[in-house]
Amino acid sequence: MSLATLDLPARPIGLRGRLSDLLVRRGGLLTLLLLLPPLLWLGLVYLGSLFVFLGQSIFSIDEFSGTIVREPTFATLIELFRPANYDIVLRTVAIATAVTVLCAIIAFPIAYYAARHAGPRAKAAFYLAVMMPLWSSYLVKVYGWKLLLAKEGAIGWFAGRLGLTGALEAWLALPVVGGPSLSVSYTGMVLTFTYLWLPFMILPVQAALERVPGSLIEAAGDLGASPAKVFRTVILPLALPGVVAGAIFTFSLTLGDYIVPQIIGTSALVLGQAVYTLQGTAGNIPLAAAFSLVPILVMAAFLAIARRTGAFDAM
Partner 1 sequence: MTRASLPLKIAALGGLAFLHIPLLFILLYCFTTEERSYAFPPPGFTLKWFAVVWSRADIWAAIGLSLKVALVATLLALVFGTLAAGALARARFFGREPISLLFVLPIALPGIVTGIALRQAFGLMEIPFSFWTIVIGHATFCIVVVYNNAVARLRRLSPSLIEASMDLGADAFTTFRLVVLPNVGTALLAGGMLAFALSFDEVIVTTFTAGQQSTLPIWMLSELIRPRQRPVTNVVAVLVIIVTFLPILAAYYLTREGEAVAGSGK
Partner 2 sequence: MHASPPPSATAVRFAGVARHFGRVRAVDGVDLSIAPGEFFAMLGPSGSGKTTCLRLIAGFEQPDAGHIEIFGETVEGLPPYRRAVNTVFQDYALFPHLSVGDNVAYGLKVRGVGRAEREKLAREALAMVKLAGMETRRPAQLSGGQRQRVALARALVVRPKVLLLDEPLGALDLKLREEMQAELKSLQRALGLTFVFVTHDQSEALSMADRVAVFNEGRIAQVGAPEEVYERPATAFVAHFVGSANVLSREQAAALGGRAVASSLRPERIAIGDFGAPIGEGIAPVEARVIDISYQGAVRRVSALSDFGMSVTVSVPADAGGRLSPGDVVRLLIPRAALQPMEGEG
Residue 19 or 216: the one with the smaller Cβ distance to partner 2 is 19
Residue 240 interface partner, choices partner 2, partner 1, none, CB cut-off 5-8 Å depending on type: none
For residue 16, state whether it binds partner 2 (rule: CB under 8 A).
Answer: no
For residue 44, state whether it binds partner 2 (rule: CB under 8 A).
Answer: no
Residue 25 or 117: the one with the smaller Cβ distance to partner 2 is 25
Residue 124 or 174: the one with the smaller Cβ distance to partner 1 is 124
Q: Which stretch binds partner 2 (CB under 8 A): 16-24, 80-88, 204-212, 260-268?
A: 16-24
For residue 20, state whether it binds partner 2 (rule: CB under 8 A).
Answer: yes
Query: Per-residue b/e over 78-102, b at no fewer than 16 CB within 10 Å?
Result: ebbeeeebeebbebbbebbebbbeb
Among 14, 15, 25, 37, binds partner 2 (CB under 8 A): 25
Q: Which stretch binds partner 2 (CB under 8 A): 3-11, 135-143, 217-225, 261-269?
A: 3-11
Residue 19 or 176: the one with the smaller Cβ distance to partner 1 is 19
For residue 170, state whether it binds partner 2 (rule: CB under 8 A).
Answer: no
What's the rounded Cα separation, in Å, for the pair 250 and 207? 17
Residues near partner 2 (CB under 8 A): 1-6, 8, 11, 20-21, 24-25
